[in-house]
Structure 1
């Protein structure tokens, strides 16, 4: 998920990881935390899949159970829960709302349909999933997963309506392209933190990351997406389906393909410019850095994108206001669910389960690359956050890596990122975001999204281990 205040988050989590490294003795408290996490996750699944309770309420109940059973003081239970909810809504919620506005403007202008028509006509319906994974990887280069997803959603819907079948045939490749970049490729926050903690070379990590990402995205995207679309048939919500339905403009002012592309890519270019400044300018206090930190923030980049779209897509003021207003009601339920998912995750983080997983890792005797991957997998499963998994696992593995000369630090950073993608489930707000956008139930989301994430993680670590036999 989008990392709130990543600069301050990383030191805190790294310090916690270092403390865990000092005390590696497994205790009964550690066992209790693992049991509580498993029970909390099981409770949410039962409440949503069996009792048919709305996911928003199920996640809040599950979060409170984890907090109470995990030993969080009573006077901090609600504040911990609301911190998690607010953290997600303050970042992801705003991004989803702005993305919905931008998508609605693109669709109602007729520009998105013209762009989709050009893509499908060029590559053909059979190769559409391959085009989607490529488009997602291009769009996702400088973007957090959620930002890329909200920009891709209208395109996914329109391509799906043109090609027919299950929406997963088009959606899974796009999700795979966005997710693998988020986990492995700088300038995404997780990989950058791992590179810093392990003192890996940025260029080498980027090169190896691309080598690993391409075959991984192909297997988990177009190949798995084509297979799973024959077995899982979601029913996308009518509100979103209607929102992303092409309507003829009365004024006939349909924007060109290039104008439409400029609307989609403007936020991408802005965030990419920020990344270039971050890498090229070592003075974090320079005026250029401060300006780009503001302009290149995902929320600010999307605000600029929405304003730009309102001008170049040639709507009058009343039309623009009406379209933007109509974009928000269909996503209200989605925002509440992903907020509750953030609260559930924060309860798990607050129990300190990441420290327990660090202790288990220190008592194992595995290869360093596999150990780094397993630590990240454990923290990802426990906390639901890819960024928390990457930051914490990097802090745990860094002291061990400092004494080893046989393992490439670049591959070690990638192994951590690979593990952070493993099996997104009910404690990940991204799980609920994908579930609601594609209109799936919990079981279908596990079969499609969670399985795809697991394939990404498993295939990428195999590729990393193979590279590790040649690179030291």
Structure 2
């Protein structure tokens, strides 16, 4: 990604700008561009990729940028975003598909449930969702875990809300705060944040947030909404059809491998702090996101695929099928990067920096608020994260690596705020749990808002001590 240096910001250099519009016109252009995206997604049900593409053209047009320069900015942003995170998304999809098809996810679930008492079950579910949700996209995680939640609730005679809310909280927190999920990865790329630091702080915040929004909030949700698992949606677990399943220890080690490698790199950078040292040079390679996820995907072919009895052809088929569903995600993430780059090139970043100098609001809170607004309008956490990160990117130019990582997390937290009827996740939860719209708002939507607000509180607290 192209980033604005401190010198450029201080001097107001316009070398990168594609328009000479003033701040008022730029502000109007941003509002009109975002409004166009919102209307296209919500009213006309246009795919987010097309909506972001058209919104970028509208943005450039209202800002009085020439069409060819607008297209050039959008194309550059799209290409740079996909090149930065596309491979990581693909590798994460492969690992997630291997985990699901091999029965590895069920192995984790069954092992923890077998060792968990009834009172501890909500805590077990948030743990399961957190572990399984690390390499999975949010929608994939929902499709994978909600049937498991329904099975547990039905067979164990548990309240659906007491079991379901912790699982949803674990998935959602991972989706918004912890790479290698697409939103956090794109924000890290956009803000030039350190992935290892962001991952470490994201996990640190995710744990208490998942506890508060999961097992603790589930007690209240259970009082507000009483539903039973829909009979037609309680499935037979596919892993029961397999001749064998991966062992629990091997499955857990495979899932956590990329996280461990990336955290090891971050620790090495802090402890060794010598770019010429051999161990740091090795860890810079081994702990890079691409190598870490590639290693996990390759290891998973053996520890998950072969352990489930998959032959070479079956493993190849699983890998191939894992890449098909992510085409839409890659396009949305790429178009979000194109929209972000158009915002940067028309000078919106400079405008926000000038205005924010006179505000008493912190950059972390500003990033959260912008993400909240885009999330409420579009219903997409990924679009909200990418767009908000692009808008506040200039503010990160003179931040420390720790505070830049916290800015990523603040934006990610804002992107989870109050999921409602324009969010696909809202309807997935509603249908799987057999709830009406009002019940879904009182449980799922409130839970998402709680995650967003509590995450922001922890981000702000960490910013005071780090």
**Fold shared, TM-score > 0.5 on shorter chain:** yes
Q: Judging changes above 3 Å, is the alpha-carbon distance between structure 1 residues 72 and 424 closer, same or farther for their aligned structure 2 residues?
A: farther
Matched, 1:61 2:61: no
Does residue 163 of structure 1 match 2:165? no
Residue in 1 aligned with 2:266?
275
Structure 1 residues 345-364: aligned runs within 5 Å: 345-364=340-359
**Structure 1: distance between partners of 2:66 and 2:31:** 20
8 Å contact from structure 1 (residues 20, 358) kept in 2:
no
**Pairs within 5 Å for 1:26-175:** 29-123=22-116, 130-131=123-124, 133-134=126-127, 148-150=134-136, 157-164=143-150, 170-175=167-172
Equivalents in 1 of 2:443, 2:330: separation in Å? Answer: 21
**Retained in 2: the 8 A contact 1:425–1:450?**
no
> Matches of 1:350 and 1:446 in 2, distance apart?
38
SS in 2 for 1:260: helix
Paired residue for 2:337?
342
Whole-angstrom distance in 2 between the partners of 1:55 and 1:447: 27
In structure 2, how many angstroms separate the alpha carbons of the residues matched to 1:73 and 1:226?
Answer: 56
Alignment of 1:284-299 (within 5 A): 284-299=275-290
> Which structure has more RCO (C-alpha within 8 Å, separation ≥ 6)?
1
Q: Secondary structure at the match of 2:275?
A: coil
- Shift of residue 419 of structure 1? 4.3
Superposed, 1:47-446 pairs within 5 Å as 47-123=40-116, 130-131=123-124, 133-134=126-127, 148-150=134-136, 157-164=143-150, 170-177=167-174, 179-180=176-177, 215-221=208-214, 246-248=238-240, 252-313=243-304, 314=306, 315-364=310-359, 366=360, 370-377=361-368, 384-385=385-386, 392-395=394-397, 416=407, 419-421=410-412, 423-424=414-415, 435=424
The 8 Å contact of residues 33 and 59 in structure 2, kept in 1 or not, is answered as yes
Cα distance between partner residues in 1 of 2:99 and 2:204: 34
Structure 1 residues 154 and 116: alpha-carbon distance in aligned structure 2, compared to 1, 3 A threshold: farther
Whole-Å Cα distance in 2 between the matches of residues 137 and 73 of structure 1? 46
Indicate the RMSD between aligned Cα atoms, in angstroms: 4.9
CA contact (8 A) 1:137 1:177 kept: yes
Change (3 A) 1:228 1:159: same
Instruction: Give unmatched runs, 5+ long, in structure 2.
Output: 14-19, 151-159, 228-233, 375-383, 431-436
> 1:294 deviation in Å?
2.2
Shift in Å at residue 107 of structure 1? 2.2
- Kept after mapping to 2: 8 A contact 1:379/1:393: no
Q: Determine if contact 1:109/1:249 at 8 Å carries over to the other structure.
A: no
Match of 2:16 in 1: none
> Structure 1 residues 389, 281: closer, same or farther in 2, change over 3 A?
farther
Indicate conservation of the 8 Å contact 2:139/2:425, yes or no.
no
In 1, distance between residues paired with 2:47 and 2:55?
12
Superposed CA deviations along residues 127-171 of structure 1, whole A, max 9, x for unmatched, are: 66644555677799xxxxxxx453787665443212126977623
The alignment's TM-score, normalised by the length of structure 1, stands at 0.67
Contact persistence 2:165–2:215 (CA under 8 A) = no
Shift of 1:61: 0.6
Number of residue-to-residue matches in the alignment: 406
- Going from structure 1 to structure 2, the CA distance change for 1:468 and 1:117 (only over 3 Å counts) comes to closer
Q: What SS does structure 2 have at the residue aligned with 1:333?
A: helix
Any conservation in 2 of the 1:220–1:452 contact (CA below 8 Å)? yes
Change (3 A) 1:103 1:347: same
User: TM (normalized to structure 2)?
Assistant: 0.68
Structure 1 residues 103 and 418: CA distance shift in structure 2, 3 A: closer
Any idea what the Cα deviations from partners look like across 1:299-357, whole Å, max 9, x if unmatched? 22111111111123313211211111122223322322222222222222222212212
